[in-house]
Structure 1
Amino acid sequence: MAGTTGEPNHPTDPFGPSPLQDLMYGHIHGAALRAVAVHRIADHLGDGPRTADDLAARTGTHAPSLRRILRLLAVRGLFHEDDRGAFRLDDSAQALRTDAPGSQLAAVLMITDPMFGRSTDGLAETLRTGEPAFELAYGTSFFEHLLKAPEDRATFDAGMASMSGPVEELVAQSYTFPEGARVIDVGGGRGGLLDAVLTREPTLTGVLFDQPATVAEHLLDRPGLAGRWHTEGGDFFSAVPPGGDFYVLKHILHDWSDEDALRILGTIRRAAAPGSRLLVVDAVLPEGSAPHPAVNVDVVMLLAVRGRERTAAEFSDLLGRAGFRLERILPTPTLPSVLEAVAV
């Protein structure tokens, strides 16, 4: 049979290992990952290897089918099958457990959710029109859909929280604020990053600014932060709180086109005094086709919204057009960098 002799595969062998083969079956790999996430298979492997029969009995799944799915994911490096036919979690799969520190289960369920799957189906049309595939599939924008679909909103919020939680502390560690500064987190969600920032520097004060319904569910009401923060509800396209020494935009600009990003930056520039600092926390794409995890996120943006990931040069141009001068880019131990700009 093809590919079983140990000889190098012929270039025209349709079953030989190749990037083409990996990509051609990629949607199946994603569906298999979602299947084990939905049935919480990893939760039952936290205390050691189990056979497919044992796992099926514990999860109410079909043992022969489960074994085939686990075998596929073992080939992809997510699980390992021993000589007894028992499967264990490899290191990268530990994050599929609900009880794992920094669990990514919710993120997996979000990215593999049908709302993104349907968008992926429309990518060929996006290539023709430039319009987000999500809008072609659902007839409305991504964020408008979330307002009307509470189950999808819950999936999205949980997925974003699972990805943001570990990132926020790493970002906070990567930038040193001066003592006594006032930090305004624009579009800061429930306040995870502002919490991390205020916790690290006890002389700072902060404002959490986002949609009223979002800030109403903030996470800042902790004894160690008492008296050092307040929330404000509003629309960052219209106005943001004035008087900040630092304005922070974490994972905001990549959701929007250049035109809309300039509108957001414009409201901040009108609120910020000359010399105030703006910290943009976003991935920075490398030039060219160098491997980078933000390339995956960039295509998710293409599918779902009208935003995009940007290179350092593109950020510099965007910030300059809005009245900010990009001064430096600080890498962090995780995906986003901290781009520090000054209001001019």
Structure 2
Amino acid sequence: MTNTSEDAYRHIITESVAFLYPAALRAAVLLEVAEHLADEPRDVAELAKLTGANGPYLRRLLRFLASHGTFLEDEDGRFHLTPQADLLRADAPRSMRAGVLLVTEDGWWQSAAGLTEAVRSGEPAFERRFGQPIFAYLAEHPEHGPLFNAGMAAYSAGDIGYIIDGYDFPNDGVMVDVGGGRGGLLLAALRARPGLCGILLDHEKVLAGNLLPELGADDRWTLHPGDFFSSVPAGDFYTVKNVLHDWDDDQCVQILENCRRAMNPGARVLVVEAVIPPGNDPHFGKTLDIMMLTLLPGQERTQLEFERIFERAGFRITQVIPTPGNLSLIEAVPA
């Protein structure tokens, strides 16, 4: 018979120290352990020399990570890459190196530590701790920009295939990727639809690191430096991926209204976000919502909350498509 009291006790003990896993991931990334294991397994003595680390401390770090499936220690004491550990390499397909470094930066740790004050005040902890909103802070500290953009792209990249496979993208006209960052989604859409052209809208500093030259067809895409709160270029199909969750409802309405005003006749918009389901089951959107709460004025939303925003902006939702990843596809047309 299960002892529920004991299970609950063990659960809280385990989860209360869960922050140590991302801290260990960060240490492994900065020591470049995964890079040194890319060709062959190595023992701790070798790894310590290659990484400049203390051998006994390094072994304790890797033993802990191996208990989570990140690295594997064999019977001879050599450590191997696992599929999870491989993602820590900078040049790995779908590398999460930048993503791990981003979300374990001091500013993110401090914001998480300020969760109580955020809940009490109704204001993002980052803003209270650093004296300004996170995007204003990034503008004043451009040295953080490359990691922020690369980290966001790393977290975003894993869902792009699901988006392309899960939605019938047009094969003609102009797709406008609103706040599209480095253009990962637009690049994938242009590759999948050879008759489609695209416009990537974001701030000039972000666009400087765009991926679109990888397409090899420069006549099919255009960079549009700008601010989606001011205006959006004309187009036939709009994508707004992981943008609305950064902002409060009024700001989301403003972004969508700017899209609606710029749309060519017959255009539609595809918003890509986590949609929080009802009930108590775990969902990545609920975790991400706590991150938003500490960093930004936005939030993750339920379908009903999205419907209210779209209606205020003059849109009608036509379908909501879940994907196998963390995000859903919300299609809407002008009402």
Would you call these one fold, judging by a TM-score over 0.5?
yes
In structure 2, the residue matched to 1:156 is 148
Q: Is the deviation greater in 249-258 or in 83-92?
A: 83-92
Q: Which residue of 1 aligns with 2:91?
A: 99
Q: Give the aligned partner of residue 241 of structure 2.
A: 250
CA distance in structure 1 between the partners assigned to 2:121 and 2:215 by the alignment: 52
C-alpha distance after superposition, 1:203-239 (max 9, x if no partner)? 1122222223333543334574332222222221121
Seen in structure 2, the aligned counterparts of structure 1 residues 188 and 126 have a Cα distance that, compared at 3 Å, is same
1:83 & 1:234 partners in 2: Cα distance? 56
Deviations, residues 9-52 of structure 1 (Å, cap 9, x unaligned): 89469xx9722112211222222221111111111222333222
Consecutive unaligned residues in structure 1, runs of 5 or more: 1-7
In structure 1, what is the equivalent of residue 316 of structure 2? 325
Amino acid at match of 1:340: E
The residue matched to 2:280 in structure 1 has which SS?
coil
Which of 33, 37, 40 matches 2:25?
A: 33
1:9/1:94 Cα in 2 relative to 1: closer, same or farther (>3 Å)? Answer: farther
Aligned position for 2:38? 46
The residue aligned with 1:210 is 202
- 2:297 is matched with 306
Give, in whole Å, the separation in 2 of the partners of 1:216 and 1:79: 35
Give the distance between the partners of 1:222 and 1:36, measured in 2 at CA: 30
Per-residue deviation at 1:331?
Answer: 2.7
**Secondary structure class of the residue paired with 1:42:** helix
CA contact 1:199–1:225 (8 Å) conserved in 2: no
Aligned equivalents of 1:279, 1:193: Cα separation in 2: 12
Aligned match of 1:74: 66
Shift of 1:151: 2.7
Aligned positions, number? 335
Q: Which residue of 1 aligns with 2:180?
A: 188
Corresponding residue number in structure 2 for 1:4: none
Change (3 A) 1:135 1:219: same
User: Cα RMSD between the aligned structures?
Assistant: 2.3
- Kindly, what percent of the aligned residue pairs are identical? 44
CA distance in 2, matches of 1:300, 1:49: 36
Contact 1:32–1:69 at 8 Å: present in 2 too?
yes
Matched, 1:315 2:298: no
TM-score by length of 1: 0.90
Amino acid at match of 1:72: F
Aligned CA distance change for structure 1 residues 223 and 123 (closer, same or farther; 3 Å): closer
Looking at structure 1, the residues matched to 184 and 68 of structure 2 have their Cα atoms a distance apart, in angstroms, of 33
Q: 1:233-283 CA deviation, whole Å, 9 max, x = no partner? A: 2221121113x2211101110111112111111111222256421100111
1:141 Cα offset (Å): 0.5
- Greater CA drift, 71-80 or 95-104: 71-80
User: What residue in structure 1 maps to residue 48 of structure 2?
Assistant: 56
Among 262, 265, 270, the residue aligned to 1:279 = 270
Which of residues 211, 215, 220 in structure 2 aligns to 1:219?
Answer: 211
- Do 1:199 and 1:224's aligned partners in 2 also have CA atoms closer than 8 Å? no
**Counterpart of 2:163?**
171
Letter in 2 for 1:107: G
Give the alignment's TM-score, normalised by structure 2.
Answer: 0.92
Q: Which residue of 2 aligns with 1:134?
A: 126
Distance in structure 1 (CA, Å) of the matches to 2:215 and 2:231: 30
What is aligned with 1:292?
A: 283
Partner of 1:5: none
- Show the counterpart of 1:3: none
- Range that drifts further, 331-340 or 263-272: 331-340
Structure 1: 4+ residue segments shifted above 6 A: none
SS in 1 for 2:212: coil
